[in-house]
Chain A
């Protein structure tokens, strides 16, 4: 009798959780643990055997000037993109919640780039930078635009940033709009009655109440742009002279082009730790706020 009920309960568990857990373990959990072990080996994909080398791969990663340089480029890209994306998205969201004509149409329009994959967006902008902007530069005599952004090592990263802002602005805008709409009416009216208008109301009342939206949006931009790959591949492919090769692409190159799987995986783990730190910070900030409120 007891055994029967145990079988029954096990069957119930497996019927509802079996496939889900199997896929989750096989695709995420096991590879993640296995990958962590790989970072302590000298595996190189060509030979079947490998031996443990301790922390050697991590030493290689942190003494690899190329990786550190690309890590700094990635940081620059991530921080500037995150700031610009959020400022831009917040501004449009502010305008588009102030009771404007054709509000919904405008919102829908700004969202369009976000529907399309990074590969396609990168190709669209490749032509914009290589062809269209240079044309405009020549016609109107704007020195900055005369040569392509994509061939200049100092400016190519800005091409990445511009397209990233373009890609995410509409998405973040929608989250900010939800935040604006969620501000209680009575608080707004109270601010109006107290004589807080325009910018003053925005900075003293609206923005403090929108901290949760800022938190979400900042987290999205930071974690996504840290792992940017598709856009990087189709827009610049790391050129010119590796000046736009972001960290995620570097990992890919290390592993699948130079066949240094152990080092590549160690780099991937370093990136994971950075992204994990960003996420944990965000969760802690949220918790702290909940306590305060």
Chain B
């Protein structure tokens, strides 16, 4: 009996390992062929590279203006997420602590708005903000992310703040602590676990987003990484090898983040989906 069970376990382990290898083969191929030539890639994609020649990387790095894209992506993601976190947590706190018809309606509309897909407002956004000459500006994009990120973040914060006892805040308020100071010094520190959840989900969303920035950021200097990758691929579509290096370069930042805080990322993603 035990022997059979153990055998089964071995069989399972080998099966799942094989599946994972199959699952990750595309990454191996991209990484491997980023060091080879296009011709080698076309004739023998699986053959392990015999050199670590950085030529393709230098090529991709320059042609896709990697640093420019990385910097834009970094600034836009960081500012947008900071804006969402601060405004949504404050808003949720107010909505929880002041229950009345108005706040219930606001919260209800926010929750309901989460089913609106981006495509449903894409055209009116282009019309309104395009006609006001606000396009082609990273600040507009951050404002958009702040608006789109609001409902979900308020929803998550709302659920969490409901569970925090109000007594602590009341004591501070009676002691003469202002409402803003009260929020930032007493409420905010308690929100740490949900802040991490929202932070992770929003960072992954904004960092990888393509459609919205492709509409707002028109000039090449403003491109985020997904946009630089897209334009790199559409401009140099014949020479495969540098393209592979470009893909590796774009993937590196996310994988680095994943290796650093894998546990929090997986937890955040699961929490965000279950709520």
Which residues of chain A have a CB within 8 Å of any CB of chain B?
12-13, 15-17, 19-21, 23-24, 26-32, 34-35, 38, 43, 45, 92, 95-96, 98-102, 106-120, 123-125, 127-128, 131-132, 135, 166, 169, 171, 174-175, 178, 216, 220, 223, 226-227, 229-230, 233-234, 248, 251-252, 255-256, 261, 264-265, 268-269, 271-272, 275-276, 279-280
Contact = CB atoms under 8 A, between A and B. Distances in A.
B107 to A, nearest CB: 11
28 contacts: A12-B94, A20-B87, A20-B90, A21-B91, A23-B150, A26-B147, A27-B121, A28-B121, A29-B113, A32-B121, A32-B124, A35-B124, A102-B17, A115-B265, A119-B226, A120-B247, A127-B244, A128-B29, A175-B270, A220-B273, A227-B117, A229-B119, A252-B122, A265-B124, A268-B120, A268-B122, A272-B117, A276-B115
Contacts of A220: 273
B229 to A, nearest CB: 6
Interface stretch (B7-15, B55-63, B164-172, B188-196): B7-15
Nearest to B41: A131
Contacts of A92: 16, 19
Contacts of B29: 127-128, 132
A248 B117 CA distance: 10
Contacts of A35: 120-121, 123-124
A21 B106 contact: yes
Most B C-beta atoms less than 10 A away, residue of A21, A96, A226, A256: A21
B131 to A, nearest CB: 9
B24 A24 contact: no
A223 to B, nearest CB: 8
Contacts, number: 228
A32 B119 contact: no
Given A92-B16, A115-B254, A116-B254, A124 B208 contact: no
A255 B204 CA distance: 28
Contact of B208 (A15, A106, A118, A174): A118
B207 A124 contact: no
B154 interface: yes
Contacts of B269: 114, 171, 174
Contacts of A98: 9, 12
B251 A116 contact: yes
A127 B25 CA distance: 12
A20 B270 contact: no
B147 A27 contact: yes
A113 B25 CA distance: 11
Given A38-B123, A120-B229, A20 B113 contact: no
Interface of B is mostly: helix
Given A23-B143, A120-B251, A272 B120 contact: yes
Interface centre among A24, A98, A227 (most CB of B within 10 A): A24
B217 interface: no
B233 A234 contact: yes
A262 to B, nearest CB: 9
B148 interface: yes
B68 interface: no
Contacts of B119: 227, 229, 248, 251-252, 268, 271-272
B92 to A, nearest CB: 9
B147 A23 contact: yes
B120 A119 contact: no
A137 B254 CA distance: 33
A216 B272 CA distance: 11
Contact of A19 (B87, B144, B180, B273): B87
A117 B209 contact: yes
Contact of B9 (A26, A100, A269): A100
A95 B123 contact: no
- Enumerate the 8 nearest inter-chain pairs by beta-carbon distance, A residue then B residue, closest first: A27-B147, A117-B208, A20-B91, A35-B124, A16-B94, A31-B124, A23-B147, A20-B87
A15 B210 contact: no
Interface string B247-267: 100110011001000100110
Contacts of B116: 28, 32, 272
Contacts of A29: 109, 113
Interface in B189-215: 204, 207-211
Contacts of A111: 266
Given A124-B247, A175-B273, A31 B125 contact: yes
B117 A275 contact: yes
B20 A27 contact: no
A264 B90 CA distance: 37
B132 to A, nearest CB: 11
